A and B are shown apart, each in its own frame.
Chain A
Amino acid sequence: MNIVVCVKYVPDATADRRFEDDFTVDRVGVDGLLSELDEYAVEQALQFREKREGEDITVTALTVGPEKAVDAVRKALQMGADAGVHVVDDAIAGSDYLGTSLVLAKAVEKIRAESGADLVVCGMASTDAAGSVVPAMLAERLGMPQVTLASVVESQGDQVRIKRDNEGSTEVIGARLPIVLSVTDQSGEARYPSFKGIMAAKKKPLATWSLTDLGLDAEQVGLSVAYTQVEQTTARPPRTAGEIVTDEDGSGAGALVEFLASKKFI
């Protein structure tokens, strides 16, 4: 069995993230990395493999993104994934959710056709777009059930059970492979690549695919055919410096209450 884990290369959240002139996210001028939330997906994919010792399971890390996005795949390989796939094509730039999920789905289908893939693991959200919709869209396109936002993942045979927090309740969800799974940052710390892992990663297979390899045309993806258009972006004006008081002998509480009262919160 092959597990495909979808990893996104994102601009570093602690850097100054910004937009290009065409309002697409600047993915080149800002330092990028494997989305931290996708590290949890890699971790769960690896644990899935490790828990099923004796079975022939490989983990393939898949990314769709610009040249540098290969770093996200490399990191996943260093963590322990067995193979990597980087889909890169100038025509993909500026794709919206529809475009991105289409390319991801075609790539998963190609991996499935070559080596079978019954489990697709995603992060709970990308740290840049933060939509939390790609896993569901991927499931729709692949015709698979989706089991999303897992904090605990268990499996036996072709049955997968997860636990998750929902609005107002905790749920257990069950489904039968093949599925698309997404995991949250509650699912357990992601491992750091070891020195051995980093060395081993250099020898692992890493494929680069273009749109043509996936049987897609440039007219099907990218900014020009996106179904959504960003018309304007505005940097949030810096907040005007607020009033800061230092608490001395209880003065802080009084000042706080005065402030709240002046704003009619009391």
Chain B
Amino acid sequence: MSDVLVVIDHADGEVKKPTYELLTIARRLGEPSAVFFGSPDKADAVAEKAKAYGAAKVYVVDDAQIKGFLVAPKAEALQQLAEKVRSSGVLAAILLPSTFEYKEVAGRLAIKLDSGLITDAVDVQAGSDGGAVTTQSVFAGSYTAQARVTHGTPIITVKPNSAAPEQAEGAATVEAFAATVSDAAKGAQVVATQPRQSTGRPELTEAAIVVSGGRGTGGNFDPIEGFADSLGAAVGASRAAVDSGWMPHAFQVGQTGKTVSPQLYVANGISGAIQHRAGMQTSKTIVAVNKDPEAPIFELVDFGVVGDLHTVLPAATEQITARKG
């Protein structure tokens, strides 16, 4: 059977949900082998997680020497790993999470492996010949496109929420992989990092429900946060809200922020500009609260309330809390 390399998305060994989605997708194409860039101490715990989603192997690339150097060393390591897998079998595809970092890794890797690259897939299926056929959402979500890689090893970055994770028992044999990283790859260095404080709410891109606020909040996000918490949702913001300094950029939804594709998206005080739509248009159910009945966001919604978010949301929050008892 052919192998599929899956890069594990994690924060300090804490495996993120998109990893399980990638492993699920990988099984449609071959046998998944997971790649863990991280500390070998965490490898067993990570392997345990990957095992439950069908990983046959877990390659561990100790990142102690490379984690301060951005993208290039990871691309070199993956190139070497891909060549090793290819030398003893067939490498059907390399799947990576569609984060900015891994998209850049994928870009460099595509050149190194002389292979085709597809970014931001929202679905990957096996085609009639068994090869990967991807679906992408393009032009701010107004089109979908099906594509495939026609040369080399398909390198595909996959967005969160692109598959429902399905469990399957894998062997998850842990294997250390010693990559050789060139000095040239260490040209850009992380000089300082400041972790953002956790809000305790779900991660924006992974959340099942996202509640966002825009300029219409007037800078008061309390109604948004209260409503989000009553639904167990993540909080998002429009660029207008971010540019006004009301929310950090990490919360921005849209073309130059995060793309979200939750089960439910609630836009409050957001007009629905094309750049905002680009980040939320593929949400399953869309709801909006807006004072202006003519706001373009209403063209997208399954349900809309024409009204003031400052009264509608707190009242709704109260009712939801009451229902939950």
Contacts and interface: CB of A to CB of B under 8 A. Distances in A.
A242 B289 CA distance: 13
B305 A239 contact: no
B195 A247 contact: no
A236 interface: yes
Given A13-B140, A252-B305, A265-B231, A232 B145 contact: yes
B49 interface: no
A175 B187 contact: yes
B191 interface: yes
Interface stretch (B40-48, B148-156, B171-179): B148-156
A184 B256 contact: yes
Contacts of A265: 209, 231, 263-264, 285
Interface residues of A, number: 82
A266 interface: yes
Contact of B108 (A19, A137, A174, A247): A137
Contacts of A167: 11, 99-101
A17 interface: yes
Interface stretch (B21-29, B51-59, B83-91, B292-300): B292-300
Contacts of B209: 265
A256 B299 contact: no
A233 B139 CA distance: 11
Contacts of A176: 187
Contacts of B312: 247, 252-253, 256
Contacts of B103: 131-133, 136
Contacts of A37: 256
Q: Give the dominant DSSP class at B's interface.
A: mixed
A35 B217 CA distance: 30
Interface in B272-292: 274-275, 278, 281, 285-287, 289
A20 interface: no
Nearest to A249: B311
A215 B318 CA distance: 68
A239 B151 CA distance: 36
A259 interface: yes
A200 interface: no
A259 B301 CA distance: 12
Of the listed residues A134, A135, A252, the one surrounded by the most CB atoms of chain B closer than 10 A to its CB is: A252
A115 to B, nearest CB: 23
A22 interface: no
B324 A266 contact: yes
Interface in B182-221: 184, 187-196, 209
Contacts of B250: 165, 168
B244 interface: no
Contact of B120 (A131, A146, A242): A131
Interface of B: 11, 70-72, 75, 99-101, 103-108, 110-112, 115-120, 133, 137-152, 184, 187-196, 209, 231, 239, 248-250, 255-256, 263-264, 274-275, 278, 281, 285-287, 289, 293, 298-308, 311-313, 315-316, 318-320, 323-324
Given A175-B188, A228-B147, A239-B286, 6 more contacts: A133-B119, A148-B71, A233-B144, A239-B301, A244-B305, A257-B323
